Each structure stands twice: as structure tokens, then as C-alpha cells.
């Protein structure tokens, strides 16, 4: 069965995305689910014209290793982040552009 004709731009776009996604296909399913949540929240930030710095991305990925990202939003002074899991009912903090987390902007509650 032959599909509808596809224009050159669509083919190029699909080839580029395929090459970008190839390394991700080697990840475990739970890692893909975590990254899917992160990508969704990053898309929302980008729509609001906010791009996390490399330092912020490093901290986000470090926390994502053992936790699930619940909230990611731009606020004055950086990004407000909330994770759950990894022994915590929740962990919420301000993530500054340089990747630092001020102590007075950190809240958490251990899971019971």
C-alpha cells in the first residue's frame, strides 16, 4: 500500500528528528517516560519564551534520575521546580540560572 505523496520538507524534517531520536530509543521505558515529562514542560517554557541554562538543565537531569518532575515554571529569579519520588512526597525549590538552589527557597517533605 502506497501512502500519499510527501513533500521534500516533510521528508527532511522526519530524517532529522529520526537521527535525533535514535539514541533515545536505547533508553529504558521508565527513562523515556521521565524524559517525555521533562520535554513537555520544556516545551511549555519555550512557548513562554524561557530557555533553561545548561547549568539548570544539569540540575534538572540530576534530580530526574531518581525522581519525577511535577512542576517547572519560570519565576522571578529562575525556575520553580517540584519533584516527587526518591524518598520524598515532594521536593520544591528555586533553581537559579547558575544552577544554584538557595536554601531559603527549598522545601521538602519525606515520604511516609
pLDDT in tens, 28-87: 999 999 999 999 999 999 999 999 999 999 999 999 999 999 999 999 999 999 999 989
Whether the pLDDT of residue 15 is over 70: the answer is: yes
Cα–Cα dist 59/99, whole Å: 6
The conformation of residue 82, written as its DSSP 8-state character, comes to E
- Alpha helices, DSSP H, located in 1-112: 8-21, 29-47, 54-64
- The pTM of the whole model exceeds 0.85: no
- Spatial CB neighbours of 69, under 8 Å, sequence gap ≥ 6: 34, 37, 38, 41, 60, 63, 81, 82, 83
**Phi and psi at residue 91, to the nearest 5°:** -145, 115
- Predicted local distance difference test score (pLDDT) of residue 2: 62
Amino acid at each position: 500500500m502506497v501512502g500519499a505523496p510527501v513533500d521534500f520538507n516533510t521528508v527532511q524534517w522526519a530524517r532529522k528528528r529520526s537521527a535525533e531520536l535514535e539514541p533515545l530509543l536505547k533508553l529504558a521505558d521508565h527513562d523515556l517516560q521521565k524524559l517525555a515529562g521533562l520535554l513537555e514542560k520544556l516545551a511549555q517554557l519555550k512557548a513562554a519564551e524561557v530557555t533553561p541554562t545548561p547549568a539548570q538543565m544539569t540540575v534538572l537531569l540530576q534530580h530526574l534520575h531518581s525522581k519525577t518532575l511535577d512542576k517547572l515554571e519560570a519565576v522571578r529569579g529562575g525556575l520553580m521546580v517540584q519533584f516527587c519520588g526518591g524518598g520524598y512526597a515532594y521536593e520544591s525549590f528555586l533553581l537559579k540560572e547558575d544552577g544554584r538552589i538557595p536554601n531559603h527557597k527549598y522545601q521538602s517533605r519525606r515520604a511516609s
